[in-house]
Structure formats: structure tokens, C-alpha cells
């Protein structure tokens, strides 16, 4: 398959978290998540997260 494309734009984790908490398929799982929870999950998936 090859290397996935690099994302060149940054998004704010609070915006992503708000989207996950409002999106019906993920709302129940992510309702109690904090930004730190999202950051740690992204890092476990190998998605780089820059500190603020």
C-alpha cells in the first residue's frame, strides 16, 4: 500500500474532541474524554501530536 499522505494542516484537539462528542456514532464513547485522553489515544495510534 505505501506510506499514507502527511497532513500539512494542524487542527486543534479541542475542536476534534468537540466533533467526536457531538457525532452520534462516537458520542457515547467520547463523552467523558478530556483533551489529554484524546492526545494519548492519538499518540498510541502513531499520530504525532504537537504540544501547545
* Boundaries of every domain in the chain: 13-44
- N- to C-terminal Cα separation, the chain: 33
pLDDT in tens, 1-52: 555 555 545 678 999 999 999 999 999 999 999 999 999 999 999 988 887 6
How far is residue 30's CA from residue 22's CA, in Å, rounded to a whole number? Answer: 9
Is this model's pTM higher than 0.75 or not? no
Amino acid at each position: 500500500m505505501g506510506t499514507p499522505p502527511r497532513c500539512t494542516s494542524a487542527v486543534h484537539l479541542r475542536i476534534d474532541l468537540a466533533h467526536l462528542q457531538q457525532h452520534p456514532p462516537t458520542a457515547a464513547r467520547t463523552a467523558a474524554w478530556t483533551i489529554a485522553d484524546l492526545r494519548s489515544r492519538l499518540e498510541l495510534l502513531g499520530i504525532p501530536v504537537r504540544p501547545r
